[in-house]
């Protein structure tokens, strides 16, 4: 089901849900068994050094540092 392409009303009708009431406990259990839990998977932790390295090797930052070095060299 491509819910993002449908209106809210169409999605609610397709899921047989009343927006004013929501799901009861049995419907929640059935939905979880059918569709799985509504949660994000755990993501891989990125170390601080990796984040710093990624930031320092960013092409735009390198370009700005080179341009700054050229500016300093020309004006000194």
Query: Which pTM was predicted?
Result: 0.42
Phi, psi angles (nearest 5°) of residue 18: -95, 120
Q: Which domain holds residue 9?
A: 3-35
Number of domains in the chain: 1
Tell me, yes or no, whether 20 lies in a domain: yes
Tell me, yes or no, whether 41 lies in a domain: no
Tell me, yes or no, whether 30 lies in a domain: yes
Tell me, yes or no, whether 59 lies in a domain: no
Q: Residue 3 and residue 26: Cα distance in Å, rounded?
A: 23
Confidence at residue 1, expressed as pLDDT on a 0 to 100 scale: 60
Tell me, yes or no, whether 24 lies in a domain: yes
Tell me, yes or no, whether 15 lies in a domain: yes
Tell me, yes or no, whether 23 lies in a domain: yes
Tell me, yes or no, whether 55 lies in a domain: no
Closest among 58, 23, 56, 51 to 38, alpha carbons compared: 23
Per run of 10 residues, the mean pLDDT along the chain (length 76 residues) is 85 85 87 86 89 95 97 94
């Amino acid at each position: 089901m491509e819910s993002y392409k449908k209106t809210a009303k169409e999605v609610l009708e397709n899921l047989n849900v009343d927006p004013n009431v929501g799901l009861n406990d049995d419907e929640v259990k059935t939905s979880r068994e059918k569709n799985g839990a509504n949660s994000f998977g755990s993501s891989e932790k990125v170390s601080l050094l990796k984040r710093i390295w990624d930031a320092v090797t960013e092409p735009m930052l390198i370009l700005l540092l080179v341009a700054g070095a050229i500016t300093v060299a020309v004006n000194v």
